[in-house]
């Protein structure tokens, strides 16, 4: 066993994701508390910039899988390379961000390695037990591994809190052999079509402005976009708004959408169904705007405004512009 703590560094187009930086900061602290070496695992192609970024987070070793077969995410290739690496090096703990990518391949890795996996965690204790929400966020469970190794977990973005990188320790770079049989690749990604909004990714945003059925139509989301642009926020939506065709499914927050943990979540015209609360209940501060004083969202909100969002949101946008300009 390598007696190492690993963090899988998710990257996109040669840029390290914000959630990966958060994991590296916290992973370094965990490794120090356990008295073990701290290592990062990076997959991709032509990712020298990511490797340089990773060095600033106190890692003592970087497992670098830089290969054309890993340029675009593929379930079989990522699963195979990660499985082979874990079986060869036998780390103590492997942490992943909780994202669409890791939800796809990490459970497969855990099954092949023969260990357990705890997902969507919001906290890690010193004894390597993990806190995670259950029952649509109405309760929390604590999960602890017994004799299974490695310990594997996915961590919700923004859940652990960030901090400052500890600086480079001139880590060893370990080139990982990528042995992927083309015959085992069952899917081929030919192209990726992306929508460019200029706003942060929903699951990694520090601030989210979301709209629900109370927005009354797709055109009114422009009000939320204006506010989001002033705050540097992402724009989300409830399932009701998505089902009505007002926003694309990629913007849905909730039990059947994306789970988010921003510093500030501004809910506009959202009633607060339990399915929606399951996706944003771990936000640090919740601000609710709704004309119904009995709306369920006010039960979880830190700050609530009873009123017409079509009047209030533009006023908020104007005031934030003044404050931020000063």
Long-range own/partner contacts, residues 80-88 (CB < 8 A, 24 or more apart): 80/179, 80/180, 80/184, 81/43, 81/176, 81/178, 81/179, 81/180, 82/8, 82/41, 82/43, 82/106, 82/109, 83/108, 83/109, 83/112, 83/113, 84/177, 84/179, 85/41, 85/176, 86/113, 86/150, 87/113
pLDDT, mean of residues 51-68: 91
Confidence band for 194, pLDDT divided at 50, 70 and 90: low
User: What's the pLDDT tens digit per position in 304-320?
Assistant: 999 999 999 999 999 99
CATH topology of domain 202-325: Rossmann fold (3.40.50)
- Strand 123-124 relative to strand 129-134, pairing: antiparallel
Least confident of 136-140, 232-236, 295-299: 136-140
Least confident of 162-176, 180-194, 284-298: 180-194
Domain residue ranges in the chain: 4-184, 202-325
pLDDT of residue 253: 95
In angstroms, the CA 298 to CA 227 distance is: 21
Superfamily, domain 4-184:
HUPs (3.40.50.620)
60 exposed, middle or buried (CB, 10 Å; 0-12, 13-18, 19+)? middle
Statement: residue 195 has pLDDT above 70: no
Statement: residue 1 has pLDDT above 60: no
pTM (predicted TM-score)? 0.82
Q: What is the chain's mean pLDDT, rounded?
A: 90
User: What's the pLDDT tens digit per position in 71-127?
Assistant: 888 889 999 999 999 999 999 999 999 998 999 999 999 999 999 899 999 898 888
User: What's the pLDDT tens digit per position in 3-27?
Assistant: 899 999 999 888 888 889 999 999 8
pLDDT, mean of residues 207-235: 96
Confidence band for 145, pLDDT divided at 50, 70 and 90: confident
pLDDT, mean of residues 213-219: 95
pLDDT of residue 285: 96
Statement: residue 198 has pLDDT above 90: no
pLDDT, mean of residues 202-210: 93
Confidence band for 264, pLDDT divided at 50, 70 and 90: very high
Least confident of 143-152, 187-196, 254-263: 187-196
pLDDT of residue 177: 87
Statement: residue 256 has pLDDT above 80: yes
Report which of residues 312 and 159 the model is more confident about: 312
What percent of the chain is modeled with pLDDT above 90? Answer: 59
Are both 4-184 and 202-325 of the same fold?
Answer: yes
């Amino acid at each position: 066993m390598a007696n190492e703590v690993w963090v899988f560094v998710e990257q996109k187009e040669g840029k390290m994701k914000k959630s990966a930086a958060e994991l590296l900061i916290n992973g370094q602290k965990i490794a120090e508390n356990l008295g073990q070496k701290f290592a990062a695992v990076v997959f991709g192609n032509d990712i020298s910039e990511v490797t340089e970024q990773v060095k600033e987070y106190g890692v003592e070793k970087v497992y670098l899988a830089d290969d054309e077969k890993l340029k675009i995410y593929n379930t079989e290739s990522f699963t195979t390379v990660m499985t082979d690496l874990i079986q060869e090096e036998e780390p103590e703990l492997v942490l992943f961000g909780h994202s669409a990518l890791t939800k796809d391949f990490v459970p497969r890795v855990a099954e092949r390695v023969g260990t357990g996996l705890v997902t969507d965690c919001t906290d890690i204790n010193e004894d390597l037990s993990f806190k995670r929400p259950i029952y649509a966020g109405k309760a929390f469970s604590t999960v602890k591994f017994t004799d299974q190794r490695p310990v594997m977990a996915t961590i919700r973005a923004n859940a652990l809190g960030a901090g400052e990188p500890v600086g480079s320790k001139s880590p060893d770079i370990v080139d990982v052999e990528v042995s992927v049989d083309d015959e085992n690749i069952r899917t081929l990604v030919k192209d990726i079509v992306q929508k460019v909004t200029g706003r942060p990714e929903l699951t990694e945003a520090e601030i989210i402005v979301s709209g629900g059925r109370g927005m009354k139509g797709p055109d009114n989301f422009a009000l939320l976009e204006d506010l989001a642009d002033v705050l540097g926020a992402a724009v989300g939506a409830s399932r009701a708004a998505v089902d009505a065709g007002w926003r694309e499914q990629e913007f849905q927050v909730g039990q059947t959408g994306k789970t988010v943990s921003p510093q500030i979540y501004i809910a506009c015209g959202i009633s607060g169904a339990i399915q929606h609360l399951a996706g944003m209940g771990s936000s640090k501060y919740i601000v609710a705007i709704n004309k119904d004083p009995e709306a369920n969202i006010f039960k979880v909100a830190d700050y609530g405004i009873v009123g017409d969002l079509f009047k209030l949101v533009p006023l908020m946008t104007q005031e934030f512009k003044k404050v931020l300009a000063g």
